[in-house]
Structure 1
Amino acid sequence: MSTSNPSSSWIAQFKPGERVEVSSNDPGFRGSWFAGTVIRREENNPNRYVVEYDQLYEDESGEKLLQETLDWIQLRPPPPPPEKKKVQFKFGDEVEAFHSNGWWEGAIIAEHSGGKFAVFLRGSKEQIVFEEKDLRYDNFREF
């Protein structure tokens, strides 16, 4: 059995300019992922990165994109683009739903007509109806 520190055996190596998705530990945002770009890796702590968000801003004016310094564990690569074939979502599927400029983890709890689905968002404990175009499979669930 290995006695090495698990956190040092696998640490993501993101490069400046690389696209990522960012999770938040802030109350009300758990279970959500927001798109951004790595600006740089911290020199004095290689496990931390400065990331600029695509659609989150520093203030209400929306003039300057928000930048944050985050631990590597809060970052993941974006999922691959969706396949060309039509996805068939169904009751019980683990999905991420695009809501408030981010992807929120949840599960389909009802199917509606017109390609709409009710999704229970775990982090906010909300049930919201989404169009099929605003859903994607939660490809990272097994991690």
Structure 2
Amino acid sequence: MEYKRGDRVEVIDSEEGFEGSYYGAVIVTKLNGDEYIVTYDTLLKEDLSGPLREVVEADNLRPKPPPPEGDQPTRYRLYQSVDVFHNDGWWVGRIIGKIGSVYNVFFDSTQEELPYGVEALRIHQDWVDGTWVTPAVKKLEIKS
């Protein structure tokens, strides 16, 4: 996919410890080949003087996911894949329970279960061949 200046995107992080996380950004410019300069929405420069700007390969970019359809508040189901806004980015997990208005989310990558309010959640979608795909709900497999 070709992006242009000002496009809202998410950068997929594959560094150790950050696998499966996505960070909001905006396209600044396209470089030669399949690289872009992006400015992040929530990540800052090391000196905290402003938003982080870096070169990203096109394979590590996807468009910003669309919002849920309809005006109804999103209702999450048991074992549904969700993205959780945590540590300045979106992390993939699964709903494993709910107490009141707090959802318990399990992260396969860290084998952790953490509580989140609905404001920190969104339905997980994958960008596959230019189309947004919502994964099927599947049972949780906790490694021992």
TM-score (norm 1): 0.82
Distance between the aligned counterparts of 2:48 and 2:115, measured in 1? 27
Give secondary structure in 1 for the equivalent of 2:126: coil
The 5 Å alignment of 1:6-45 reads 12-43=1-32, 45=33
Distance between the aligned counterparts of 2:23 and 2:60, measured in 1? 10
Larger radius of gyration: 1
Of Structure 1 and Structure 2, which has the larger fraction of its residues in strand?
2
Q: 1:67 to 1:124 in 2, by over 3 A?
A: farther
Aligned to 1:107: 94
Q: CA RMSD in A?
A: 1.7
Q: Report the AA paired with residue 32 of structure 1.
A: S
> How far 1:126 sits from its partner (Å)?
2.4
Asked if 1:57 corresponds to 2:15, the answer is: no
Distance between the aligned counterparts of 2:55 and 2:104, measured in 1? 34
- The number of equivalent residue pairs is 128
Q: Report the AA paired with residue 102 of structure 2.
A: K
Q: Report the AA paired with residue 64 of structure 1.
A: G
Q: 1:125 to 1:49 in 2, by over 3 A?
A: farther
Distance between the aligned counterparts of 1:72 and 1:90, measured in 2? 33
> How far 1:123 sits from its partner (Å)?
3.2
> How far 1:53 sits from its partner (Å)?
0.4
CA contact (8 A) 1:48 1:70 kept: yes
TM-score (norm 2): 0.81
Distance between the aligned counterparts of 1:67 and 1:87, measured in 2? 33
Which consecutive residues of structure 2, in runs of 5 or more, have no partner in the other structure? 128-132, 135-144
1:85 to 55, 60, 72: 72
CA contact (8 A) 1:57 1:65 kept: yes
CA contact (8 A) 1:31 1:122 kept: no
The percentage of aligned residue pairs carrying the same residue is 30
Give secondary structure in 1 for the equivalent of 2:119: helix
Q: 1:67 to 1:105 in 2, by over 3 A?
A: same
